[in-house]
Structures are given as structure tokens and as C-alpha cells.
Amino acid sequence: MDNAQAGATTKTVTFRIWRQDGPGGEGHYDEFRIPYTKGANVVSSLMEIQRNPVTVQGKKVAPVVWDAACLEEVCGSCAMNINGRVRMACSALVDKLEQPITLEPMKKFPVVRDLTVDRQRMFESLKRVKAWIPVDGTHNLGPGPRQSPKDQATMYVLSTCITCGSCLEACPQVTMDNDFVGAAPISQARLFNMHPTGKMNAEERTRALMGPGGIQDCGKAQNCVKVCPKEIPLTSSIAMMNREVSKLLIKDIFFKEEEQKHAAGPG
């Protein structure tokens, strides 16, 4: 075996991984070293560590826990902090990462164990803005209203959201002790407000963004659009929904003044 072949067989990759047994528990880092594989991503490396979870000190530990499903940047479940930046573990290639590769759970969601977090706050926010189209499935409703190609193109991009939570993780306004909904639910409200059938509930979705934790809590940091794995124009969605909220506020003020005039009677 020549020197090049020998080097190829001994090349390794070092991972520094956050370990935490459960919510609120004490955490620490474990360091692992695995053989280098060309083209490997973080998920495949975690699988390799899982097969033989022995630290660089030679200590046998519990297998690392993380979330993954599609392995092709569609499900959104493998989002984590990789070398201090939130991204999808399935599309993070080892060859492009500085070693030791540090893996940490997202910090804006409660830790379940190790790299797995509870994204419930994001799903509750999606329910808050009613991010769906109410359809009566008891009978055939016939073809839906026609949409312009321009609206179709915009809505398609918005519909690619994979609810990974990266935008919430990168947002300085989202904290563990507040209720700010974040960019993803705001953008989904815009998506369903554009839908021909969804427009019937547009005001309801917009009002959901007017309360505590709504769109007024956005600080316009624009971190969300920088980390979105699907490159969704989240800041555009925030701007559009901010305008809709402003219009609704003006409408409310106008009608309130009209009601007061009527209540006062002829002057």
C-alpha cells in the first residue's frame, strides 16, 4: 500500500456533540472520531457514531439522539446548530465544515434529548394564524377559482416551507420566554390569505397577528431570510402582512369613530 492509500485509510473526522439526557437537565459535550468518508453529510456521520458510540477517550456512551426523516431537505426535522449556525444536517457536507464539527440543538426550543428539540411553539403559532384552507369535504365543491400565473409563482415559493424552525432559531426576537410567532407562521398566513378560498378567512388570520407575540414584535433583523433552507422571501412576507395589519388597524379606527358618532346621535 503506498503512502496516499495509507493516508486515505487513516483520515478521520472529529465531532463535538452536545449531550443532554432530558428537558432541563445538565448538559455536556462528547467528542467522537470516525473514519472519513468522501461526500458524507452530518446525518450519515451521526449514523456512523450511533453504530459505535465510543468517545475519543474510549468511553462507551449512550447513542446520540437526533431527528431525521427524509434525508433530502424536505421534512425539516434535522435542523440543528452546526458550528454555531442553524442549518439542515442532511445537506451539511462534512467536507465543507471546519473541524472539530460542533453539533448543538436549536436554542429557541426546549431540548427533548441531545440534538432533538420540541417544536410545539411553532405548530401552535401555525394554529393561531389558521394556516390551512377550511374545506367542506362532504360533497364535491367543483373546480376552484382561477389564479394568475404571478400569484401561483409567489404561492409556490411560500408553500415550500418545511417548518424546520431555522428562521425562529436565527431570530433575535424569538426567545424561550416570549410568544413571538416568528417568520414562518407570518409567511404561512400570507400564503393562505392569497389562496382563492383562503381569502374568506384572511381577516381572521391577519387579526391573529395583531395580538401579543404578533407581527409588531418583529425587529426586522432579517436573519430569518439568511438561514431559510428553501430561500423563501420571509422578509417580503413580513412586510406584506405588516401592511395588511396596518390596513386593518386603520379600518378598525375608522369604524370605531363612526360608531361613536352614531351613538352620540345628531349634533
The residues, ordered by sequence, that sit 6+ positions from 254 with a Cβ below 8 Å of its Cβ are none
The order of strands in the sheet holding 27-35 is 27-35, 12-20, 101-104, 79-82, 85-88
Give yes or no on whether 3-117 and 120-259 have one common fold: no
Query: 141: Cβ–Cβ under 8 A, 6 or more apart, which residues?
Result: 135
What's the topology of domain 120-259?
A: Fumarate Reductase Iron-sulfur Protein; Chain B, domain 2 (1.10.1060)
CB 95 within 8 A of CB 85: no
Domains in the chain: boundaries: 3-117, 120-259
Exposure string over 125-141, b if 16+ CB within 10 A, otherwise e: bbebbbbeeeeeeeeee
Q: What is the pLDDT along the chain (267 residues), one digit of tens a residue?
A: 344 454 445 799 999 999 999 998 899 999 999 999 999 999 999 999 999 999 999 999 999 999 999 999 999 999 999 999 999 999 999 999 999 999 999 999 999 999 999 999 999 999 999 999 887 677 777 777 888 999 999 999 999 999 999 999 999 999 999 999 999 999 999 999 999 889 999 999 999 999 899 999 999 999 999 999 999 999 999 999 999 999 999 999 887 766 666 666 665
| pTM across the whole model | 0.88
The CATH number of domain 3-117, selected from 2.60.40.3500, 3.40.50.720, 3.30.70.141, 3.10.20.30: 3.10.20.30
- The closest alpha carbon to 239, from 179, 187, 167, belongs to 187
Cα gap 104→29, rounded to integer Å: 9
Dig out the grid coordinates for 38 from the structure: 468522501
Q: Which residue do the cell numbers 459535550 mark?
A: 29
